[in-house]
Chains A and B, each alone.
Chain A
Amino acid sequence: KAGVTQTPRYLIKTRGQQVTLSCSPISGHRSVSWYQQTPGQGLQFLFEYFSETQRNKGNFPGRFSGRQFSNSRSEMNVSTLELGDSALYLCASSLAQPEGTQYFGPGTRLLVL
């Protein structure tokens, strides 16, 4: 089975722009979670989607949003980018929730200039 895939892998944007990141879960997995990793804050949970519904949300401003499609693929969007949004964004999928093992993709490195 193919693992979790994320596109793009690297991205450079400027302040004020918006960005959309994509995540394709492992085939058959219906839950997708997003995390942000920065040197200062570590790994932090953004949100989780299950069957196209946001089921859980972390403490991030409304500029961070996401959605999930009927094929379980997920996108996250960050509007009005700030320098502090520079981070590694990781997506994870799992087969069953809430106790299923989560499998992570390779991540998208976002640099905001």
Chain B
Amino acid sequence: GIQVEQSPPDLILQEGANSTLRCNFSDSVNNLQWFHQNPWGQLINLFYIPSGTKQNGRLSATTVATERYSLLYISSSQTTDSGVYFCAPPGETSGSRLTFGEGTQLTVNP
């Protein structure tokens, strides 16, 4: 099945800093989602981004499907951005089976 690598595994920032999280995947995909897992465990949708660039407030994401990577940008980080960020392309059999990387643990300090 598809392999997903996320980097960096851990990231510590001061409030107000910007960051870029990367997701590499081993095979071509036709969709990809980014999630933020909050401290209570819930996965919050950030983006559904099979290709191109999308922006939502301080967050934006870019997927270059032909080169098998996606980037998540967080600008002017806030303490509430802390948590684990996952990218999830589909598995090889269908888009319904998301394959998760190990995530990036982000800590934003005040």
Minimum distance in angstroms from B3 CB to a CB of chain A:
12
How many residue pairs, one in A and one in B, have C-beta atoms under 8 Å apart?
Answer: 67
Choose, from A13-21, A77-85, A92-100, the stretch at the interface.
A92-100
Minimum distance in angstroms from B76 CB to a CB of chain A:
26
Establish whether residues A90 and B43, one from each chain, have CB atoms under 8 Å apart when the complex forms: yes
Of the residues B41, B42, B93, B95, contact of A100 by C-beta under 8 Å: B95
Minimum distance in angstroms from A56 CB to a CB of chain B:
5
Instruction: Label chain B's interface by main secondary structure.
Output: loop
Q: How far is the CA of A44 from the CA of B97 in the complex (A)?
A: 9
**For this complex, into which size category does the number of interface residues on chain A fall?**
20 to 34
Which residue among B45, B96, B97, B102 has the maximum number of chain A CB atoms within 10 Å of its CB? B96
Q: How far is the CA of A55 from the CA of B97 in the complex (A)?
A: 10
Establish whether residues B33 and A56, one from each chain, have CB atoms under 8 Å apart when the complex forms: no
Query: Is the C-beta of B74 less than 8 angstroms from some C-beta in chain A?
Result: no
Establish whether residues A107 and B41, one from each chain, have CB atoms under 8 Å apart when the complex forms: yes
Query: Is the C-beta of A105 less than 8 angstroms from some C-beta in chain B?
Result: yes
| Additional A-B contacts beyond A33-B97, A106-B40 (4; CB < 8 A) | A33-B96, A37-B41, A43-B98, A101-B48
User: Can you name 29 A-B pairs with beta carbons within 8 Å?
Assistant: A33-B96, A35-B100, A37-B41, A42-B100, A43-B86, A43-B88, A43-B98, A45-B97, A45-B99, A55-B96, A56-B96, A92-B43, A97-B94, A97-B95, A97-B96, A98-B94, A98-B95, A98-B96, A99-B31, A99-B50, A100-B95, A101-B33, A102-B33, A102-B98, A103-B45, A104-B43, A106-B42, A107-B41, A107-B42
Chain A residues at the B interface, C-beta cutoff of 8 Å: 31, 33, 35, 37, 42-45, 48, 50, 55-56, 58, 88, 90, 92, 94, 97-107, 109
